[in-house]
Amino acid sequence: MERGLVVPQGLIAQGRGEAFDYLLGEKTTPPALKAERAAAAYLVLAERPVISVNGNVAALTANEVVKLAKSIPARIEVNLFYRTEPRVRKVARLLSLAGAKDVLGTKPDARIPGLDSKRALCSHEGIYSADAVLVPLEDGDRTQALVKMEKVVLAVDLNPMSRTSLAATVSIVDELSRALANIARFVPAMRRNRAAAERVVRSFNNDENLGDVHQYLHVSLRKLRRQT
């Protein structure tokens, strides 16, 4: 926040995420890993995959985002919920420093239908034309709008009941740095074997997987309670 990457509302959102992470035992659950594998498959199979980056994502995981984008390969687009041009430039600069080439989003030339003014802005070459978008820590309205555009939407959100988690094609309920590292770990195998990636995508059921996350949440709560 002091460097101008994150807004105060971003800190509150971070806190909400921390509470869910704590309740899930601060580790990747089996259903989260399944979702991460499915996300890797979707990203590798996509023709125009894009990773959407906001202030919190950049502050937490700029390096991991760039590494994942290179391995897929995918484009990176800066996409802020509370958009100001100076903050867009700061986030883009941080990603460039982390090794990203051609970060999109600083010169938006398209709009996501159904969102108001600044929230709708995006890059035609990036999110607008993408067939799969990875949206870490995304707002519910934007996730729903991207789904309505018939894109594959891969969300990372620690609240399994958020509108983002409910709307996404693949809902990864995991802490962001673990999620990105796990997706990146699955990418090489998916790239080597597209048929396997297609099988992963076909066999993944997001509703069922979110149900499994809930079961883990109850189990984890009981475990935390016993430790007290």
**Segment contacting its own copies by CB under 8 A, of 7-15, 79-87, 141-149, 189-197:** 7-15
Q: Is 97 in the site for its own copies (CB under 8 A)?
A: no
Determine if 219 is a binding residue for its own copies (CB under 8 A).
Answer: no
Phi/psi region, residue 26 (left: phi>0; alpha: psi -120 to 50; beta: rest), is left
Asked if 218 interacts with its own copies (CB under 8 A), we say yes
Closest approach of its own copies to the CB of residue 218, in Å: 6
CA quadruple 20, 23, 26, 31: dihedral, nearest 10: -80
Query: Using only C-alpha atoms, what is the Rg of the chain?
Result: 17
How many whole angstroms separate alpha carbon 122 and alpha carbon 137? 17
Considering only the stretches 46-54, 122-130, 182-190, 219-227, report the one whose residues sit in contact with its own copies under the rule CB under 8 A. 219-227
CB of 4: closest distance to its own copies in angstroms? 13
Three-state DSSP class for 151? coil
In the numeric block, which tokens belong to residue 181? 């590292």
Question: What are the C-alpha distances in Å from 4 to residues 51, 105, 154?
Answer: 21, 17, 27
Name the residue nearer to its own copies (CB basis): 129 or 159.
Answer: 159
Question: Site for its own copies (CB under 8 A): which residue of 124, 148, 194, 214?
Answer: 214
Q: Is 118 in the site for its own copies (CB under 8 A)?
A: no
- Taking CB under 8 A as the binding criterion, the range among 20-28, 47-55, 56-64, 86-94 that sits at the site for its own copies is 20-28
Q: How far apart are CA 122 and CA 181, in angstroms?
A: 26
Residue with Cβ nearer its own copies (54 or 71): 54
